[in-house]
Amino acid sequence: MKTIIIIPARMGSSRFPGKPLAPVNGIPLVHWTYNQARRLSNLVIVATPDREIAHYCEKNNLAWRPTMIHHPTGTHRAAEVIRQMRDGAVGQKDLVINWQVDEPFVDPNDVAQFNRRFGIKTLFGELRDHLLFDSNLVKVAVGDQNRCLWFSRAPMRGAKEHIGVYGFEASKLIELEKIEPTSLSKAESLEQLTWIEKLPNDWITGFPIEGEIPLSINTPEDLELMQEIVGNAN
């Protein structure tokens, strides 16, 4: 079973336009995330509709594939790449990981847990109290056997902090691509709610991370904090 990592990246983010090419120590965010993902798999592909990102990838030897502009989610963008590759390159049971471009600090060892079961997989950690009311942060209610019961940007007492990396069998990813987003999913801008509503018998399993919650780059302020972290490490 192969592990294929797709990093969806587009310039038109509503909360942080141009985020994938925003530099930290002179290196764009997409390159930091790509290098982190490569610690887990040699099959890492940036999926983008944007010429600027494609040009950067070409110039710096990052594997990439073009995608259509008007995908509703990164999962749809990842699925398009897998469909492009399907003729013998991807098996139905191969693990496809949608590693969001704003997760440059996720530990590959945590993502490696996805090999432990089939279905839909993601990561979570302990919710930091001061972020309970932060709408940029996605919270997840986790039940028995780490089943993810609900996701929201609103405060949820007892919830966990969601981390933007997902794993699917290739065949499951193609199935998810065909499902129309629900009204709740659109309202919260959270594709996971569509999966919960439309696939009630399919589990989304959350895997707890080891150690501290990794910094996600949701805003320009987060990028500044990443610059401090990287600068202090050097």
- Three-state SS string across 67-124, please? CCCCCCCHHHHHHHHHHHHHHHHCCCCCEEEEECCCCCCCCHHHHHHHHHCCCEEEEE
- Rounded to 5°, the CA angle 148-102-149 comes to 10
110 closest CA partner among 14, 206, 179:
206
Contact 17, 61 (CB under 8 A): no
What is the DSSP pairing of strand 160-169 with strand 120-126? antiparallel
Token output for 32: 């930091």
Q: What is the CATH number of the domain that holds 80?
A: 3.90.550.10
| Count of domains observed in the chain | 1
Strand partners, 5: 44, 97
pLDDT score recorded for residue 88: 67
DSSP state of 150: E
How far is Cα 204 from Cα 16, in angstroms, rounded to an integer? 28
User: Which tokens sit at 130?
Assistant: 């001061």
pLDDT string in tens for the chain (234-residue length): 799 999 999 998 777 899 999 999 999 999 999 999 999 999 999 999 999 999 999 999 999 999 999 898 999 999 999 998 866 677 888 999 999 999 999 999 999 999 877 789 999 999 998 889 998 899 999 999 999 999 999 999 899 999 999 999 999 999 999 999 999 999 999 999 999 999 988 899 999 998 889 999 989 999 999 999 998 776
Residue 60 sits in which domain range? 3-233
C-alpha 191/C-alpha 76 separation (Å) is 10
Residues linked to residue 28 through DSSP beta bridges, in sequence order? 23
pLDDT of residue 65: 96
Question: Which DSSP state fits 147?
Answer: B
Fill in the amino acid letter for 137. Answer: L
